[in-house]
Amino acid sequence: MLSNRYPVFIEFGDCDPSGIVFHPRYFAWFDASVHALWRSAGFSLERLREKYGIDGIPLVETRAKFMAPSRSGEEAVVETTVTAIHRCAFDLHHRLLKGDEVAVEGFETRVWTALDPETGQIRARPIPPDIMDLLSGR
């Protein structure tokens, strides 16, 4: 499956008054890592929109498991891997690594969407076969 590593330097502003990373920052890094994953495969969200006419790849489910605190001044890597591909969606697994230590795991489901020309609503659309191949690492 498609995978990528995204470096993160933890800044003072990422932390709460206790000096540890404020939990929403992890979700921002996970999101940035998804876009880095697409870039590593030769796509940006803009290029996906142009080529496939999609509206986006919105997040529809997420959760995280926090195992070790992260602090200002630390360097980390978010390792993002596609774990499953469905007709209109795909699942991702994120691991925030500090050296060999897994500090946080994140899980997401994102949906391939486009605007419905009749209603103007965002609707799930089938993922094109070449993108399924890309996500699966073929």
Write out pLDDT tens, residues 4-40: 999 999 999 999 999 999 999 999 999 999 999 999 9
pLDDT bin (cut points 50, 70, 90) of residue 117 is confident
Please give the pLDDT value at position 43. Answer: 87
Beta bridge partner(s), residue 9: 75
* pLDDT tens-digit readout, 75-97: 999 999 999 999 999 999 999 99
Tell me the residue range of the domain where 33 lies. Answer: 3-136
pLDDT at 46 over 80: yes
What is the CATH number for 73?
A: 3.10.129.10
- DSSP E strands in the chain: the ranges are 3-9, 59-66, 75-85, 89-98, 101-111, 113-115, 122-124
Total structural domains within the chain: 1
pTM assigned to the model? 0.91
Of 38, 23, 51, the residue nearest 128 (C-alpha): 51
User: For the chain, what is the total number of helices (H) and then of strands (E)?
Assistant: 3, 7
- Other C-beta atoms closer than 10 Å to the C-beta of 50 total 11
Of 43, 46, 42, 23, the residue nearest 96 (C-alpha): 23
